[in-house]
């Protein structure tokens, strides 16, 4: 939390996006036979899975085990997460009438989320819990495409062809995600991360016109809670300043832009998070160490740095390599 606020820290803190999940044998065992989105509504299981990487690695934060589409499931949309594919939505949103199916969840629909957060904050003690949600563009892209996409053709066809519908959709999704985040914060989460994983596909001029207002609405909705707000997307080198200006305190950076250059692009007053290339986890230990050291060198002059990967932990990553990264960062960033 101190690094997010750009205050002095005893050592650089480290956590990993997708630190809970298929790379851990204890996760695969806990999830056996339980569909992903069912598991997200089982508080004891959510708490156990969230704790697994904290116990194993001694990371400096837990990240809530859930999914960006969890609040869509909570309001009764027909959707599932297909293993190896991602979220699949039975009836995509393509017309104004489809907006009627989208509304912010009621408190009782998110009660299992709040219960899981309360279990976790009790168990975690001083270790912060990072809550999260999907940003309007990324969530809307799943809703419009009906599933994962490479080119986002339907999404962009709507953005350019019916901008009024597109912005109305993102505005609704902003309310859904805001409710999901507020539920986590009010149950005890110490920080939140807004994932705009796929927004790197949008040109900056279009981002500012069609996307940023909805992301800004989410950040504004949680502003009075006073918790650090992290914002992250993949391939966002050209968008770093705009992402920060949407209202984040911390900008997550993928591995394509070195952190000293990211700081220049983001501008003053924000902490940075990142940005080890996840593929380095598959390199020999000495090469991995060198890559971690390079990220630390790039961040040496930043007032606030939270070490992370440049995207999520790959499902086939070796947990031993992740443990090595945590220890390396802790041992080599001790402030005197």
Stretch that binds ligand CP3, among 11-19, 164-172, 250-258, 288-296 (CB under 6 A): 11-19
* Catalytic choice (27, 57, 142, 210): 142
The least CB distance from residue 3 to ligand CP3, in Å, is 18
CA distance 40 to 66: 5
Q: Please indicate whether residue 55 is annotated as part of the active site.
A: no
CA distance 227 to 91: 35
The least CB distance from residue 97 to ligand CP3, in Å, is 26
Q: Is 86 in the site for ligand CP3 (CB under 6 A)?
A: yes
Cβ proximity to ligand CP3, 287 vs 309, nearer residue: 309
CA distance 222 to 297: 33
Q: Where are the alpha helices (DSSP H) in the chain?
A: 25-31, 36-39, 43-57, 70-74, 111-124, 136-145, 153-161, 163-187, 204-206, 212-222, 240-245, 259-266, 285-298, 319-332
Q: Please indicate whether residue 142 is annotated as part of the active site.
A: yes
CA distance 51 to 177: 24
Q: Tell me the angle at which helices 285-298 and 319-332 cross, rounded to the nearest 10 degrees.
A: 40
Q: Is 18 in the site for ligand CP3 (CB under 6 A)?
A: yes
CA distance 108 to 268: 41
Q: Is 247 in the site for ligand CP3 (CB under 6 A)?
A: no
Q: Work out which of 10, 58, 76, 83 binds ligand CP3, going by CB under 6 A.
A: 83
Nearest to 137 by CA among 110, 104, 105, 173: 173
Q: Is 65 in the site for ligand CP3 (CB under 6 A)?
A: yes
Cβ proximity to ligand CP3, 85 vs 287, nearer residue: 85
CA distance 60 to 173: 30
Q: Do 14 and 330 touch, CB atoms closer than 8 A? A: yes
* Catalytic choice (27, 57, 60, 67): 67
The least CB distance from residue 236 to ligand CP3, in Å, is 11
Site for ligand CP3 in 132-161 (CB under 6 A): 132
Q: Please indicate whether residue 28 is annotated as part of the active site.
A: no
Cβ proximity to ligand CP3, 105 vs 284, nearer residue: 105
Q: Work out which of 41, 180, 195, 307 binds ligand CP3, going by CB under 6 A.
A: 195
Residues paired with residue 81 on neighbouring β-strands, in sequence order: 87
Q: Work out which of 121, 197, 212, 215 binds ligand CP3, going by CB under 6 A.
A: 197
The least CB distance from residue 308 to ligand CP3, in Å, is 10
The least CB distance from residue 164 to ligand CP3, in Å, is 26
Q: Is 74 in the site for ligand CP3 (CB under 6 A)?
A: no
Q: Is 41 in the site for ligand CP3 (CB under 6 A)?
A: no
Count of positions on this chain that bind ligand CP3 (CB under 6 A):
22
Q: Tell me the angle at which helices 212-222 and 136-145 cross, rounded to the nearest 10 degrees.
A: 120
| End-to-end Cα, the chain, rounded Å | 20
The least CB distance from residue 320 to ligand CP3, in Å, is 18
- DSSP 8-state assignment for residue 292: H
Report the residue count for the chain.
336
Q: Point out which residues bind ligand CP3 (CB under 6 A).
A: 17-22, 31, 36, 63, 65, 67-68, 81, 83-87, 132, 195, 197, 312
């Amino acid at each position: 939390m101190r690094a997010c606020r750009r205050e002095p820290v005893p050592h650089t803190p480290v956590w990993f996006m997708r630190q809970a999940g298929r790379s851990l044998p204890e996760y695969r065992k806990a999830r056996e036979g339980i569909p992903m989105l069912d598991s997200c509504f089982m508080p004891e299981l959510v708490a156990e899975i969230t704790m697994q990487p904290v116990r194993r690695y001694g990371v400096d934060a837990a990240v809530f085990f859930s999914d960006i589409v969890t609040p869509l499931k909570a309001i009764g949309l027909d959707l599932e997460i297909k293993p190896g594919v991602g979220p699949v939505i039975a009836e995509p949103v393509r017309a104004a009438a489809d907006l009627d199916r989208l509304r912010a969840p009621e408190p009782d629909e998110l009660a299992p989320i709040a219960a899981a957060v309360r279990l976790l904050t009790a168990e975690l003690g001083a270790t912060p819990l990072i809550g999260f949600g999907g940003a309007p563009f990324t969530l809307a892209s799943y809703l419009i495409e009906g599933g994962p996409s490479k080119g986002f053709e339907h999404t962009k066809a709507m953005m350019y062809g019916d901008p009024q519908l597109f912005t109305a959709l993102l505005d609704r999704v902003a309310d859904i995600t805001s409710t999901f985040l507020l539920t986590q914060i009010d149950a005890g989460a110490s920080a939140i991360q807004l994932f705009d994983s796929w927004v790197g596909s949008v040109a900056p001029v279009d981002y500012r016109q069609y996307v940023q207002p909805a992301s800004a609405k989410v950040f504004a909705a949680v502003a009075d809670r006073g918790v650090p707000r992290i914002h992250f997307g993949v391939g966002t080198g050209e968008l770093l300043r705009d992402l920060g200006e949407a209202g984040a305190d911390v900008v997550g950076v993928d591995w394509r832009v070195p952190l000293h250059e990211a700081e220049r692009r983001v501008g003053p007053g924000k902490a940075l998070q990142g940005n080890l290339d996840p593929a380095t986890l598959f390199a020999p230990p000495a090469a991995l160490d060198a890559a971690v050291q390079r990220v630390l060198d790039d961040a040496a002059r930043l007032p606030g740095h939270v070490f992370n990967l440049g995207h999520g932990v790959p499902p086939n990553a070796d947990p031993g390599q992740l443990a090595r990264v945590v220890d390396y960062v802790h041992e080599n960033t001790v402030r005197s």
